[in-house]
Structure 1
């Protein structure tokens, strides 16, 4: 058996299959997400995804979901990579991936997020297992909001 105690930076955190997170660089704070350990990559609902060049570097412009009646903003990020990802229907598609900060359970770290149309989904973001890897986090499959307050409104019609 592996001795993991020397690699543990944080105590074990147990999160629910639904939690609230923040993506401060996108201006998205305390919104409900679905934790999906069956998904490798985190996916965020985005509209009007456009790739452009800025000083010789590929960037992406998109509109993330508006939260609770706020005005939908436009975000611009450097393109971290493009990745072939199998969507919820089982169809492979190439997606733009950005790298940005996530806040969950009082901790902050960078994650990769693929941009896609999740407008018909209940949650604007699914948090994939790569975002949780090496963070000493486990998911309780029958519990929700173990490390965050339950939002007053949950769902894709934010």
Structure 2
């Protein structure tokens, strides 16, 4: 073997070692955006959607100390130690068609998304999802290339859903 062949062989072995088995996720899962301080909340996985969207209100663009565009916004109310205001650098500003097919101007940010034990960089559009059931919708662009397989017939495959308190199940058992 020549030196180039040995290096190529070693590079292939390193790439294979990094490849993880697919993680099967449901159409609803718990996720986190650790860089924004948004942890352990539900998201809808939508392979029909191209982009990923996060509920944000009072979105305000400003110029940061680095001279770049930043946004400040109120994130979804997750009911647990989530920040009142998030700040992130703008990665893009473009039009996106909403679920009703109407084009909207949106700011995009890049941040880490954590699904189960996997963490990877995604691009997220900021929009008011207040009328939607889930504060975040994860589209196929964010899923691509991270070894995630969506089982659309199930939910909460990475871990069980948190039980809701049910007054009927409380009390004396027979």
TM-score by length of 2: 0.80
Moved more, 41-50 or 142-151: 142-151
Equivalent residues of 1:65, 1:72 under 8 A apart: no
When the two chains are superposed, the root-mean-square deviation of aligned CA atoms in Å is 1.9
Aligned to 2:72: 61
Counting only pairs closer than 5 Å after superposition, residues 71-150 of structure 1 correspond to structure 2 as 73-150=84-161
Equivalent residues of 1:52, 1:60 under 8 A apart: yes
Give the strand-richer structure, 1 or 2. Answer: 1
Equivalent residues of 1:20, 1:151 under 8 A apart: no
Equivalent residues of 2:32, 2:41 under 8 A apart: yes
Shift of 1:151: 3.0
5+ long unaligned stretches in structure 1 = 154-158
Greater C-alpha Rg: 2
Q: Where does structure 1 differ by over 6 angstroms across 4 or more consecutive aligned residues? A: none
Q: Which has the higher contact order (CA 8 A, sep 6+)?
A: 1
Length, aligned pairs only:
149
Q: What SS does structure 2 have at the residue aligned with 1:146?
A: coil
Summarize deviations over 1:58-108 as a string: whole Å, max 9, x none: 010001012125565111111011122110110011210000011102111
Shift of 1:25: 1.2
Question: Is the aligned partner of 1:151 residue 2:162?
Answer: yes
Distance change (3 Å), C-alpha of 1:36 and 1:97: same
Summarize deviations over 1:91-131 as a string: whole Å, max 9, x none: 01121000001110211111111000000000000011111
Equivalent residues of 2:38, 2:83 under 8 A apart: no
Q: How many angstroms apart in 2 are the aligned matches of 1:12 and 1:77?
A: 30
TM-score by length of 1: 0.87
